[in-house]
Amino acid sequence: MAQVPVNVTVTGAAGQIGYALLFRIASGQLLGADTPVKLRLLEIPQAVKAAEGTAMELDDCAFPLLQGIDIFDNPGQAFEGSNVALLVGARPRTKGMERGDLLEANGGIFKPQGEAINAGAADDIRVLVVGNPANTNALIAQAHAPDVPTERFTAMTRLDHNRALSQLAKKLGVSINEIKKLTIWGNHSATQYPDIFHAEVNGTTGAKAVGDQAWLENDFIPTVAKRGAAIIEARGASSAASAANAAIDHVYDWVNGTPEGDWTSAAIPSDGSYGVPEGLISSFPVVSRNGRWEIVQGLDIDEFSRGRIDASVQELSEERDAVKKLGLI
C-alpha cells in the first residue's frame, strides 16, 4: 500500500539554510529513504518568487519521495496538517550583533507561527526552531500553542554538538565515530557549554584523553561556542549548509531514535533536571526513544561544569524575562 506522505513545513524557505535544507528533505534524508514527503514552504511576500524558483529546482531533481510542494505567505495555511515544522525564517545575526539584539525583531515572527501551529498542525506535530535566538523563539512559539504538548517544541543545538565532535576528534586524532556521549548544555549562544567530561573516547573520557584543562578552557570551549561568529566573520554570512545538516540530524534522530550506546544534544523543555528551571528550552544530553526525546539522567556534574551550565541557563532565564516584558509569552 502506498505510504501517506509526511507534511513538512519549512519557514524561511528562500533563505540560505532553506536552500541547503530542502533538497535533502526531498531526497529522504530528513525522515528516511522510505518516507514520502510533501513540502509546505512559508516565506514573506517579497521572497515568495525566490521560493518558487527553488521549487522549480526541486521539481527538476525528480525526487521519487517528493509528492508535492506548496508555497505560502501566510502561516495559517503553511502549518495546516503539518507533521514536522522547521522554523528557520528569522533575521540572521550580522557582524557585531549578539543574539539578545534579535529577541524583539524575531519574537514577533514566532508568536503568529505558534498560533498557526496550534490551530492547524497535525496531532503528531514536531517543531524544530533553527531561527535565532532559537531557544527563546521556541519558547515564544510554544507559549502560543497551548493545545500542543509542550515537549513538541525544540530548538537546535545539534550544530554545536557536531562542531564540538569535530574539534575534539581533530585534537585527539580520532575519527568522529570513536567519540560518544558528548553534550552541549544551555543556550545556542556564546554561553553554551560543550561538555567532554562525560564523553567517551576509546575507553576513557574525552577530558582525560585530552588531559589539558587549559586547552579545554581557552581553546575548545570558546572555539565551539563562538564558531557561529567565526563563520559570519569568514563568510560574511551565517552558517548555512552545516546548519541545514544539523537540522536533518535532529529531526532524523527524533523520529527514528538515537543509536544505542550514545546520546546527542538538543534543546528541549526542561523538566527541572540538572537544576535547569522547569519550562526553559535548554540543551541537554538526550536520547530519542519511541519518537520522544528523553534527558539522560544521573550524570555527575562537577564544580567546573556546574558553573558553566548555570551561566548559560541564567542567560536563558534572562531571555525568558525579556520576552515576558515584551508581552511575547
Q: Report in angstroms how near the CB of residue 101 gets to ligand LMR at its nearest.
A: 10
243 binds ligand NAD (CB under 6 A): yes
**Using CB under 6 A as the criterion, what x/- string covers residues 198-237 for binding ligand LMR?**
------------------------------xx-x------
Output the CA–CA distances (angstroms, integers) from residue 263 to 34, 250, 259, 307, 312, in the order listed: 25, 12, 7, 22, 21
Specify the residue, 16 or 288, whose C-beta has the smaller distance to ligand NAD.
16
239 binds ligand LMR (CB under 6 A): yes
Residue 40's nearest CA partner among 76, 87, 82 is 82
Residues in the chain, overall count: 329
CA distance 316 to 314: 5
Q: Report in angstroms how near the CB of residue 139 gets to ligand NAD at its nearest.
A: 14
Whether omega before 133 lies within 30 degrees of 0, making that bond cis, reads: yes
231 binds, among ligand LMR, ligand NAD, none (CB under 5 to 8 A by kind): ligand LMR
What cell was used for 311?
A: 551561566
Q: What are phi and psi of 226, to 5 degrees?
A: -110, 15
237 is annotated as contributing to ligand binding: no
DSSP 92: P
106 is annotated as contributing to ligand binding: yes
> Considering CB under 6 A, how many residues would be counted as binding ligand LMR?
8
Under 8 Å between Cβ of 20 and 241: yes
130 binds, among ligand LMR, ligand NAD, none (CB under 5 to 8 A by kind): ligand NAD
240 binds ligand NAD (CB under 6 A): yes
Q: What are phi and psi of 59, to 5 degrees?
A: -55, -40
Q: Is 86 helix (H, G, I), strand (E, B) or coil?
A: strand
Q: Which residues ranging from 21 to 50 are in contact with ligand NAD (CB under 6 A)?
A: 42-44, 47
269 binds, among ligand LMR, ligand NAD, none (CB under 5 to 8 A by kind): none
188 binds ligand NAD (CB under 6 A): yes
93 binds ligand LMR (CB under 6 A): yes
Measure CA of the first residue to CA of the last residue in the chain; give whole Å.
44
90 binds, among ligand NAD, ligand LMR, none (CB under 5 to 8 A by kind): ligand NAD
Q: Which residues ranging from 267 to 326 are in contact with ligand NAD (CB under 6 A)?
A: none
73 CB neighbour count, 10 Å cutoff:
15
Residue 269's nearest CA partner among 260, 278, 261 is 278
Q: Where are the alpha helices (DSSP H) in 70-157?
A: 75-78, 102-120, 134-143
Binding site: residue ranges? Answer: 12-18, 93, 99, 106, 113, 130-132, 163
**Binding residues vs ligand LMR (CB under 6 A):** 93, 132, 159, 228-229, 231, 238-239
Q: Which residues bind ligand NAD (CB under 6 A)?
A: 11-12, 14-18, 42-44, 47, 88-90, 92-93, 109, 130-132, 134, 156, 159, 188, 238-240, 243
